[in-house]
Chains A and B, each alone.
Chain A
Amino acid sequence: MSKLIPIAAAFVISTSAFAQTGVVRGFIVDSTNGESVAYANIYIKGTETGAPSDARGYFIIPNAPAGEHTVAISCVGYRTREIAVEIERGEIAHLEVALAPSSFEMEEVSVVGERSARKNETDAGVQAITQQEINMTPVGVEADLFRTLKVSPGVTTTGDVTGRYYVRGGAGDQNLVLLNGVTLYNPFHALGIFSVVDPEMVSVMEFHKGGFAPEYGGRLSSVLDIITRDGNKNELQAAAHASMLSGKLAVEGPIPGGSFLLTGRKSYYGETLDYFLNEDQAPFDFYDASFKVNYANPDLLENAKFVAHGFFSGDNLTEPSPFEPNYSFSNNLFGVTWRQVWDAPLFSFVSFSGSSFRAEVDKKLSDARPRKNSLDEYNLDLHFTYMYESTDELRFGLQNKTVSGDLEVQNLYGVRANYIQDATSSSGYANYRFFRWETVGFDIGVRFNFSTMTKYRPFIFEPRFKLTWLPTPMIALKAGAGRYSQEMVSLVDEEELVSIFEPWIVVPDRNSSAESTQFLLGFEVYPIAEASIEVEGYYKTLTNLIEENDDKTLPQDRDFINVEGEAYGVDALIRYRVSRLYAKLGYSLGWAFKKPEGGAEYPPRYDIRHSLNAVGELDLGGGVTLNAMWSFKTGMPFTPILGYYDRPPVENPYRRFMLEEFVAATLRGEINSKRLPVYHRLDVGFRKRFTIWSADVTLGLNALNVYNRNNIFYFDKDTGERIDMLPFLPSASLRVAI
Chain B
Amino acid sequence: MKATYGIVAAFVAALFFFGCEEDFNPKADFEDRYFLFAAFEMTRQAGASPQYVVVNKLYDVPGLNPELNTTEPTLPDAIVTAKLNYSMFDFQTDTLSRRPDSRYDSSTFRYSVGDMPINPQDSITLVAVLPDGERLRAGVRAPHPVALEYSLDFSAGFTANVNRWVWGESWTIWWRNAAEYELAFPRMTIYYERSGDSTTSYGSVEVPTTYAAGEPVYPSYTFDREISYDFAAVDSAMANLSNGDPQKNRYRVVRMTFSLRRFDAHLSKYYSSVHGGLDDQSVRVDATTYSNVEGGYGVVGVAENVDINFSIKPDYILQFGYRY
Contact = CB atoms under 8 A, between A and B. Distances in A.
B60 A500 contact: no
A412 interface: yes
B66 A666 contact: yes
A641 B28 contact: yes
Interface in A634-660: 638-648, 650-651, 653-654, 656-660
A672 to B, nearest CB: 8
Interface string B3-40: 00000000010011001111010111011010101110
A413 B268 contact: yes
Interface in B104-148: 108, 110
Contact of B26 (A367, A553, A715): A715
A661 interface: yes
A316 B244 CA distance: 41
B286 A191 contact: no
Nearest to B185: A653
Contacts, number: 228
A737 interface: no
A320 to B, nearest CB: 8
Contacts of A657: 37-39, 52, 303
Contacts of B56: 645-647, 662
Contacts of A469: none
Interface string B277-301: 1111111111111000000011000
Nearest to B30: A643
A369 B281 CA distance: 12
Contacts of B59: 643-645
Given A323-B215, A645-B58, A720-B66, A654 B24 contact: no
A297 interface: no
Contact of B24 (A411, A413, A673, A677): A677
B180 A499 contact: no
Chain A interface, >50% SS class: loop
Nearest to A319: B280
Interface in A269-299: 277, 279, 282
Given A413-B272, A554-B265, A709 B287 contact: no
A717 B181 contact: no
Given A642-B28, A709-B19, A498 B286 contact: no
A647 B34 CA distance: 11
17 contacts: A327-B279, A415-B181, A495-B284, A495-B285, A496-B282, A498-B283, A550-B287, A640-B28, A642-B31, A645-B58, A653-B185, A659-B52, A662-B56, A664-B69, A677-B24, A709-B19, A722-B26
Contacts of B284: 493, 495-497, 717
A500 B22 CA distance: 31
Contact of B28 (A500, A654, A670): A670
Interface of A: 191, 277, 279, 282, 317, 321-325, 327, 361, 365-369, 371, 410-416, 493, 495-501, 550, 553-555, 638-648, 650-651, 653-654, 656-662, 664-674, 676-677, 680, 682, 707-710, 712, 714-715, 717, 719-722
A321 B288 CA distance: 30
B271 interface: yes
A617 to B, nearest CB: 14
Interface of B: 12, 15-16, 19-22, 24, 26-28, 30-31, 33, 35, 37-39, 41, 52-54, 56-61, 64-67, 69, 73-74, 96, 99, 108, 110, 180-181, 183, 185, 187, 212-213, 215, 217, 220-221, 223, 259, 261, 263, 265, 268-289, 297-298, 303, 305
B278 A501 contact: yes
Nearest to A614: B8
B282 A639 contact: no
Nearest to A676: B24
Across the A-B interface, the 10 shortest Cβ-Cβ residue pairs: A414-B223, A657-B39, A664-B66, A644-B66, A640-B28, A322-B212, A720-B64, A498-B283, A669-B28, A643-B58
A608 to B, nearest CB: 16
Contacts of A647: 35, 37, 56, 274, 289, 298
B267 to A, nearest CB: 8
A654 B285 contact: no
A680 B22 CA distance: 12
A673 B28 contact: yes
B306 to A, nearest CB: 12
A531 to B, nearest CB: 14
Contact of B27 (A411, A641, A650, A710): A641
Contacts of B271: 650, 653
Contacts of B110: 659-660
Given A500-B279, A553-B265, A656 B289 contact: no
B297 A645 contact: yes
B37 A500 contact: no
Nearest to A282: B281
Nearest to B73: A646
Contacts of A414: 180-181, 183, 223, 268, 272
A660 B112 CA distance: 12
Given A368-B279, A648-B39, A643 B60 contact: yes
